[in-house]
């Protein structure tokens, strides 16, 4: 039976979950996978934490050199996070010929080209299932499940924190600020939640997933990003009245004009499978030319779900002798021949405060028409004596046309556009 030694860098939430799965399922892996996996080393500054998890003191390393020089270690698992020490440690491991498994989306998004170059040079494996969507096996699906397809679109809820906040705003009618405080109290959101609520986390993941789906490097800088901090409960309730629910979506499309990659809040029709994904759950909806539509759903973060993805990579690496690398030229800036679409197409939701006077609605409709924007749904609410609230949902149009229409309406004196949200098609 093949024996594989593992080292874990960092025993925080994810590293601790990984250690538990590896030690508690050791006999199960021997029986079902015919591989003997043992944790031979951990790098954890908090020795008490390691000992509390059951790590023998002699297996607690004091520095990365002890780990990479350990001949019993075949696979190094990185769960430290960030791009400082984690990047150095992963490169040290790869340069020592160790296979690496990482859950670090920011590291992989920004430096996969550098890591893969080191892995190829030393014939080492590089695995990253846990970097995207926690325990949901979306990367393995793209690499080994739907590779017979040309993927033309991918749409997902890939950040649990924002999905929890938007779910609470929709179901309880609370404000963004109150929902965020609740998420922080439950441990779903960090004290500084900006990586999640401003869309950075989802954009890192989309960069990775789109690269795999479309077989070209999609740099993080190419991802359009807009967070949820400006979302109001009023807009969520208006959308609900029109049959929509609001999600922070990561959208990737491969079109004749080029690739679209964007992260932003968007309304989804209540009948769409993604509309039912609530709380901290995640899902990715993939469309391929042969398979049609596939949706993957599950826990997008957490100790055991993410640990599950890491251990899945460890087992895959332990049971496959040939290392696989990118199907595209993996460089920092990507292929200069790849075109990215900035003026993407979408339907739009507008909320306007309108001066309540004769002919105002017709004039606003004419301003939209000037930019080839047609209105699909309209809802009017009375305001005070001088104003009314107008809610519009448009047919599909271009991003730049929508922005130009907003500027023109705001300058007209007829109305003020209070909010704009995209509507997923």
Radius of gyration of the chain (CA): 24
In angstroms, what CA-CA distances link 405 with 288, 351, 367, 400? Answer: 34, 13, 7, 8
SS3 207: helix
Angle between helices 233-241 and 160-172 (to 10 degrees): 70
User: CA angle, corner 203, sides to 202 and 204, nearest 5?
Assistant: 90
Instruction: Find how far residue 78's CA is from the centre of its chain.
Output: 19
Known catalytic residue at 3: no
Query: 202, 205, 196: which is closest to 165 by C-alpha?
Result: 196
How far is the C-alpha of 284 from the C-alpha of 132, rounded, in Å? 10
Distance linking the first and last C-alpha atoms of the chain? 51
> Which residues partner with 157 through β-bridges?
283
Put residue 242 in one of left, alpha, beta given phi > 0 → left and psi -120 to 50 → alpha: alpha
Q: Which residues are paired to 382 by β-bridges? A: 388
Distance separating alpha carbons of residues 345 and 394, to the nearest angstrom? 11
**What does the alpha-carbon distance between residue 329 and residue 271 come to, in Å, rounded to a whole number?**
39
Q: How far is CA 212 from the centre of its chain?
A: 14
Total residues belonging to the chain: 425
Give whole-number Cα distances, 380 to 238, 242, 353, in Å: 11, 12, 10
The answer to whether 248 and 199 are in contact (CB under 8 A) is yes
Cα angle: 347, vertex 352, 358; to 5 degrees: 115
Spot the catalytic one: 98, 110, 205, 247: 205
Question: How far apart, in whole angstroms, are the C-alpha atoms of residue 351 and residue 244?
Answer: 15
3-state SS assignment for residue 290:
coil
Cite the active site residues: 205
């Amino acid at each position: 039976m093949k024996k594989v030694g593992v080292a874990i860098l960092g025993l925080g939430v994810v590293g601790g979950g990984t250690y538990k799965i590896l030690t508690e399922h050791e006999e199960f892996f021997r029986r079902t996978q015919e591989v003997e996996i043992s944790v031979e080393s951990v790098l954890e500054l908090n020795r008490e934490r390691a000992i509390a998890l059951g790590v023998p003191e002699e297996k607690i390393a004091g520095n990365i050199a002890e780990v990479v020089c350990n001949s019993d270690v075949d696979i190094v698992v990185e769960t430290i996070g960030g791009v400082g020490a984690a990047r150095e440690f992963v490169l040290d491991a790869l340069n020592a010929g160790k296979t690496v498994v990482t859950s670090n989306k920011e590291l992989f998004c920004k430096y996969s080209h550098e890591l893969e170059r080191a892995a190829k040079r030393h014939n080492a494996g590089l695995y990253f299932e846990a970097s995207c969507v926690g325990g949901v096996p979306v990367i393995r699906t793209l690499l080994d499940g739907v590779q017979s397809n040309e993927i033309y679109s991918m749409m997902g809820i890939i950040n649990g924190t924002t999905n929890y906040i938007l779910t609470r705003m929709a179901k309880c009618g609370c404000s963004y600020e109150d929902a965020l405080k609740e998420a922080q109290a439950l441990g779903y959101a960090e004290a500084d939640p900006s990586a999640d609520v401003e869309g950075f986390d989802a954009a890192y993941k989309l960069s990775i997933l789109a690269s795999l789906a479309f077989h070209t490097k999609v740099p993080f800088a190419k991802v359009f990003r807009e967070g949820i901090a400006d979302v109001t409960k009023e807009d969520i309730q208006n959308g609900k009245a029109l049959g929509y629910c609001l999600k922070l979506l990561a959208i990737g499309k491969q079109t004749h004009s080029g690739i679209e990659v964007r992260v932003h809040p968007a309304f989804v029709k209540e009948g769409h499978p993604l509309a039912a994904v609530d709380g901290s759950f995640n899902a990715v909806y993939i469309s391929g030319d042969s398979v049609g539509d596939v949706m993957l759903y599950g826990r997008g973060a957490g100790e055991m779900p993410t640990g599950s993805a890491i251990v899945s990579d460890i087992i895959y690496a332990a049971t496959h002798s040939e290392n696989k690398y990118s199907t595209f030229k993996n460089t920092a800036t990507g292929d200069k021949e790849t075109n990215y679409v900035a003026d993407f197409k979408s339907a739009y939701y507008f909320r306007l405060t309108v001066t309540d006077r004769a002919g105002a609605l017709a004039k606003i409709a004419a301003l939209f028409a000037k930019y080839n924007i047609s209105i699909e749904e309209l809802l009017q609410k009375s305001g005070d004596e001088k104003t009314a609230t107008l809610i519009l949902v448009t047919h599909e149009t271009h991003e730049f046309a929508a922005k130009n229409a907003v500027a023109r309406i705001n300058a007209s004196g007829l109305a003020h556009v209070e909010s704009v949200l995209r509507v997923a098609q």
